[in-house]
Chain A
Amino acid sequence: MNGDFHYYGTYCAALLAGYTPEESQNICYCAQLVDHCTRTFLKRANGPSIAATTQLQSEMINIDTDIQGLQNITRIWSAFHFLPRDLYAEVGKGTKQYKNKYRLICGPNGELLKETVELAKGKDLQAVGLAMHVLADTWAHTYFAGTPSLVINNTDYHIYELLQVDGKTERRHISFGHNPAAKEDPEKGAYTGSIYQSSENSIMNLGHGRAGHLPDYSYISYAYMPAWGDYHEIIKNNPHDYMYAFAQMVYAMQYLRGGIDKFATDTYAWDTIKPYEDDLKKMFAVRRTDDSADWKALAEKISGTVPKPFDLDEHTDEIMSAKKGTRRLTYLGHFFSAAIAHKSMVTTRIYQSGNPLAGKPKDAVKPQKNEKESDSE
């Protein structure tokens, strides 16, 4: 998802879930912070490097794609941006190595999502914001994995935008440029994507890079053949998925706020968002890469308030001036704790499923052999 959804969208969802504007401001700030909390930022903010929730391009340039480097990349990206849907998925083909990568494919309503939301229950607003970022990304980044993998994340020439013209669905071929300086033009269908790299573990093959920014644009529906899909075409309908993401965020925050006893996957707060459904549909239909203005208008419609512009350094002074033993109690300290707890949970679950790609967590419990796999072996 782009910053407009993570920041302004989360603000609106928090308001609808019953949080006050001040609480919603904190939640949306932390939701957006997940896309900025790099090792570089942590060094500046005196934070622990283990709390990193993303990586800059300049940081990834200097990473070795040896086993440890890949595990570090996988821990961050799988935990915060490409939460795996099913760590025990029946793959039906492939070596163990292939299956391990396949089982990291992201998708909504997985068991890990339930654990993510439940982990934030009873915790502070920073944890809520972090959980909402992860939840939203499970919808946008579906079908891609948070580990470098050519055989999972590659796309080929078969990728078409689905356009509604006079009531009919038309296909327009999308060809990606690879010049990072070139501007994207949604009207002309000009997009930028990562260049093809035949090396399996190249960081060019991390996440949805090969599909460019398409997963993060709310307006676009497109058809493509993912590398793992046996030449079956998949249709990704972002307006539909973004609506579901928003409705699920509202539901999740209603649960976290205490209004609902138990969190269930595949459950949405349709009744709550109904008065604003048309506004959302209109917003997601407009062909543009930034919906911030419409989100702000929606926030004003809901509560008469708008969130202040995102300022990455809003809370850095507090933690930088805090004494060593009290940094944990600062605003950012709470966020770092939430990030570490979430990353630890996801890494543990991946390890316990018998998948070594995210490495071994510190308090590792021996992985349980997948019963179905042991039968076939």
Chain B
Amino acid sequence: MSNWQRIRKILVSLFMIIWAVLIWILNIYYGTGYEVILFGMISYLLIHSIRLLVFYFTMARFMNGGNSMFYRGILLLNLAVFTFSLNSFPKALLVAYLVGSIMVTSILQIFHAFESKKINGHWKIPLFNGILTIGVTLFILVFIKIDEAIILIYTLALLIDAIDRFIMAFRPNKLITIQ
């Protein structure tokens, strides 16, 4: 990892921490925690889908298997639109969607950790991160019965991810290329 990439990782993790705190504060004072979370998710999905689609149309469509970039871009775009529509649905559906997305992300993280282990990459922290996020989510849902449980879960998941990125910024990168 170059120095600039490390700085970028640290800045992203700081932004995520600020974002998590902001969600909590806005929910306490204005009761808009869910809306802010949705806004963040929609922005993230939209930016990534546009990036994928632009890459597809400028480069990947000339490559074998490049259509997968297009499909991923469209999938993310659909998810962004669906997330936007959740605002007009009952809160229970929104809660289920957010819990589901956190669970899926954490399971994928655990899966990637095991894949990384096979190729001598970093795996312990991503594995711990994934398990911790699932554990915290289930604990809060089952034992802590408050109305803003999902906002607590989401902000904690953001903080765990931010700390993970912060730690990874200082770890030596393992590079598996063929020379």
Is B65's beta carbon under 8 Å from chain A?
yes
Is A181's beta carbon under 8 Å from chain B?
yes
The answer to whether A179 touches B60, judged by C-beta atoms less than 8 angstroms apart, is no
Write out, one digit per residue, whether chain B residues 63-74 have a CB within 8 A of any chain A CB (1) or not (0). Answer: 111100100000
- Give min CB distance, A262 to chain B, whole Å: 36
Contact A61 to B1, CB < 8 A, known contacts A179-B118, A179-B120: yes
From B118, which residue of chain A is reached at the shortest CB distance? Answer: A179
Q: How many residues on B have C-beta within 8 angstroms of the other chain's C-beta atoms?
A: 25
B55 CB contacts on chain A under 8 angstroms:
200
Is B85's beta carbon under 8 Å from chain A?
no
From A198, which residue of chain B is reached at the shortest CB distance? Answer: B69
A94 CB contacts on chain B under 8 angstroms:
59, 62
Is B92's beta carbon under 8 Å from chain A?
no
B36-44, B75-83, B133-141, B169-177: which lies at the interface: B169-177
Contact residues, B145-179 vs A (CB, 8 A): 172-173, 175-179
B88 CB contacts on chain A under 8 angstroms:
none
The answer to whether B62 touches A195, judged by C-beta atoms less than 8 angstroms apart, is no
B177 CB contacts on chain A under 8 angstroms:
57, 60, 194, 203-204, 206, 209
Measured in the bound complex, the distance between the Cα atoms of B107 and A119 in whole Å is 57
The answer to whether B119 touches A179, judged by C-beta atoms less than 8 angstroms apart, is yes
The answer to whether B178 touches A60, judged by C-beta atoms less than 8 angstroms apart, is no
The answer to whether A64 touches B176, judged by C-beta atoms less than 8 angstroms apart, is no
A152 CB contacts on chain B under 8 angstroms:
63
A93 CB contacts on chain B under 8 angstroms:
62
Is A123's beta carbon under 8 Å from chain B?
no
Contact A178 to B176, CB < 8 A, known contacts A63-B2, A64-B4: yes
Write out, one digit per residue, whether chain B residues 26-69 have a CB within 8 A of any chain A CB (1) or not (0). Answer: 00000000000000000000000000000100111011111001
The answer to whether A98 touches B59, judged by C-beta atoms less than 8 angstroms apart, is yes
- Give min CB distance, A99 to chain B, whole Å: 10
- Give min CB distance, B73 to chain A, whole Å: 12
Measured in the bound complex, the distance between the Cα atoms of B55 and A130 in whole Å is 37
From B117, which residue of chain A is reached at the shortest CB distance? Answer: A179
The answer to whether A98 touches B58, judged by C-beta atoms less than 8 angstroms apart, is yes
Partner of B175, one of A57, A97, A150: A57
The answer to whether A213 touches B178, judged by C-beta atoms less than 8 angstroms apart, is yes
A198 CB contacts on chain B under 8 angstroms:
69
The answer to whether A228 touches B62, judged by C-beta atoms less than 8 angstroms apart, is yes
B120 CB contacts on chain A under 8 angstroms:
179-181
Is A169's beta carbon under 8 Å from chain B?
no
Chain B residues packing against A (C-beta within 8 Å): 1-5, 55, 58-60, 62-66, 69, 118-120, 172-173, 175-179
4 tightest A-B contacts by CB? A151-B63, A178-B119, A209-B178, A64-B2
> What are 21 A-B contacts with C-beta separation under 8 Å?
A62-B3, A63-B2, A64-B2, A64-B5, A95-B59, A97-B59, A151-B59, A151-B66, A154-B65, A156-B64, A178-B118, A178-B176, A179-B118, A181-B120, A192-B178, A194-B176, A195-B176, A200-B55, A228-B62, A229-B64, A230-B64
Chain A residues packing against B (C-beta within 8 Å): 54, 57-58, 60-64, 66, 69, 93-95, 97-98, 150-152, 154, 156, 177-181, 192-195, 198, 200, 203-204, 206, 208-209, 212-213, 225-231
